[in-house]
Amino acid sequence: MQAIRCMLVALLALTSAGCTAPAAVACHPTIANMTPPSEPLEFMIGGSSDPAGARAVAPTLNWYGNGAMWVVLPPNGEVIGRLDDKIPPYRMKRGQITWSARQLDGNASVPTQSMTGYGDIGFQAGGPGFPNVGCWQVSYWLAGRDELQFVLRVR
């Protein structure tokens, strides 16, 4: 009887161990609203079909960057309804862009990938694609260094 009781206690402990909810991860998307250098700002304005309107709106966007590259992140740091939203960097220095991503609230990741074309300075088309919704930390590198890291909520 004692052996059966021990087995039941052990079985109960094993089955209840898998019933706990995973710890919630708070997602804090990057909302920087930085002031970009004139080069990426003027590039965006110059490429618009409404330069006057773009000149008014472009400075208010969610700009984020460093000495190597700049991006415009989605408002509120959220990508809504798309898993393949593009966030093209504007390169301030010469070099190719690579990127990777890891899910902060799950186990998914996107291995390092390259953005190609468009020369080796200035605008670079492309950006992250995600396998599923969630909270994602994205890293861009210019020429294997000069990392720009940000967080996005994808839903």
> Tens of pLDDT along 40-85?
999 999 999 999 999 999 999 999 999 999 999 999 999 998 888 8
**What pLDDT score was predicted for residue 84?**
84
**What pLDDT score was predicted for residue 7?**
41
What percent of the chain has pLDDT above 90?
A: 79
Separation of CA 45 from chain center: 24
| Domains along the sequence of the chain with CATH | 25-154 (2.60.40)
> Tens of pLDDT along 139-151?
999 999 999 999 9
Helix (H, G, I), strand (E, B) or coil at 76: helix
Mean pLDDT of the residues in the chain: 88
Separation of CA 55 from chain center: 26
CB proximity list for 85: less than 8 A, separation 6 or greater: 74, 79, 127, 128, 154
Predicted TM-score (pTM) of this structure: 0.82
- Cβ-based neighbour number of residue 144 at 10 Å: 10
